[in-house]
Structure 1
Amino acid sequence: MKPLYSGSLLLLITACSPIPQYETPANAPQAQIRSEMDALFNRRNYLTLSAAPTIACKYGRSVPVAPARQLFSVRGGYPSEPEGFRAIESGKPIHLVLEGGASGNRRCTVDFVSEFMPGARYVIKGGITDGPNVMSGCQVSIVDLDSGVRLFQAKPSAANGCALDRLTPPTP
């Protein structure tokens, strides 16, 4: 019975572990980025901006081979953490994911790809949106601080080439 108990404890501990922090690869060109995201003034609201997990084809299936890496997080009524600028890899496309949550078990996700210019400084704006026509969504924009131009955000590619992912299940 002890192996079952210790295995359950290990599963509980790993399920509660935080997302690892984003670190720029060694010797990679860098840009600077700062967060001005807003989760509104509700203690249950949160936002997390992360570099998406690396997905690869393994045994014919799409599987994450590297975990998501968190850039910024914010809770309702508090400033983004970490504060100030931080380095991000530049000169190549990077897949980012903004995830948010609000009271009433509402969730939103913005999944996009952007490319940062080496040496440039950027600010991330946006967050949870609520209003008479919106039931809780997320929005995000990244602005170049020197030029004031919004950074292009492309949709990520859905195809990864795994043979089993391309199969369609039989229709009943």
Structure 2
Amino acid sequence: MKPLYLCSILLLAGCTPAPKYLVPAGAPHALIRSELVSMENRRNSVSLVEAPAIGCKYGRTVATSPGGQLVSVRKNVSTPEGFFPIEAGKPLHLVMRGAAKGNRSCSIAFVSEFAPGARYVIKGGIVDSPDTLSGCYIDIFNVDSGARVPKTDEPKMDRNCALDRLPTL
């Protein structure tokens, strides 16, 4: 009985949510608000997280620490509500993930930069229309100017670990 109990604890520990995103102390910040939607279904969800830190572990390039969660959306309710701080003045690598009924999922990884002291709104979420089977989209706007914040593709991973450089057979 004890091995079964121990295995269930280990399985539950593997399902812990991402840690909450925190602006580094002393860093300039902007304010951001979520208007992401997950469509009204109890099985649908959307999250916006900072991309995990990548490093060398056991000779391979892997995620060494999880990224912090900025926004979580369930039943079209964003958490946290209202404006919250985000680091500004440097490019941030963010990932939006959507999950919908029928085991459908989508993910958008991008890099954006926010101006210190500015206010932003994130719009997007899960799309379910006749044109698409399942997908998601994201747009970020400066609230004060109305300008769309540019998004660039996620950076290419620099594979500099010893085992990553070995030829594949």
TM-score when normalising by structure 1: 0.90
1:168, distance to aligned residue in structure 2 (A): 4.7
SS where residue 7 of structure 2 aligns? helix
Cα distance in 2 between the residues matched to 1:5 and 1:35: 41
Partner of 2:149: 151
Cα distance in 1 between the residues matched to 2:72 and 2:96: 9
Partner of 2:92: 94
Partner of 1:16: 15
Cα distance in 1 between the residues matched to 2:91 and 2:18: 21
TM-score when normalising by structure 2: 0.92
1:122, distance to aligned residue in structure 2 (A): 0.4
**Are the counterparts in 2 of residues 51 and 96 from structure 1 also a CA contact under 8 Å?**
yes
Cα distance in 1 between the residues matched to 2:128 and 2:165: 37
Partner of 1:105: 103
List per-residue Cα deviations over 1:82-141 (Å, max 9, x = no partner): 101110011111110000011111000000011111111000000001111101101001
**What are the ranges of 5 or more consecutive residues in structure 1 without an aligned counterpart?**
none
1:38, distance to aligned residue in structure 2 (A): 0.7
> How many residue pairs are counted as aligned between the two chains?
168
Cα distance in 1 between the residues matched to 2:147 and 2:48: 20
Deviates more, 1:61-70 or 1:154-163: 154-163
Cα distance in 1 between the residues matched to 2:16 and 2:148: 34
1:79, distance to aligned residue in structure 2 (A): 1.6
Distance 1:28 1:63, change over 3 A: same
For residues 7-156 of structure 1, what are the structure 2 equivalents within 5 Å? Answer: 7-76=6-75, 78-156=76-154
**Are the counterparts in 2 of residues 54 and 64 from structure 1 also a CA contact under 8 Å?**
yes
**Are the counterparts in 2 of residues 51 and 97 from structure 1 also a CA contact under 8 Å?**
yes
**Are the counterparts in 2 of residues 124 and 142 from structure 1 also a CA contact under 8 Å?**
yes
List per-residue Cα deviations over 1:120-167 (Å, max 9, x = no partner): 100000000111110110100110001111111111122313243354
Cα distance in 1 between the residues matched to 2:103 and 2:133: 11
Cα distance in 2 between the residues matched to 1:14 and 1:32: 32
* Aligned-partner residue type, residue 103 of structure 1: K
SS where residue 77 of structure 2 aligns? coil
Cα distance in 2 between the residues matched to 1:129 and 1:106: 11
Distance 1:104 1:6, change over 3 A: closer
Q: What is the identity percentage for the equivalent residue pairs of Structure 1 and Structure 2?
A: 51
Cα distance in 2 between the residues matched to 1:128 and 1:22: 22
SS where residue 79 of structure 2 aligns? coil
* Alignment root-mean-square deviation, CA: 1.6
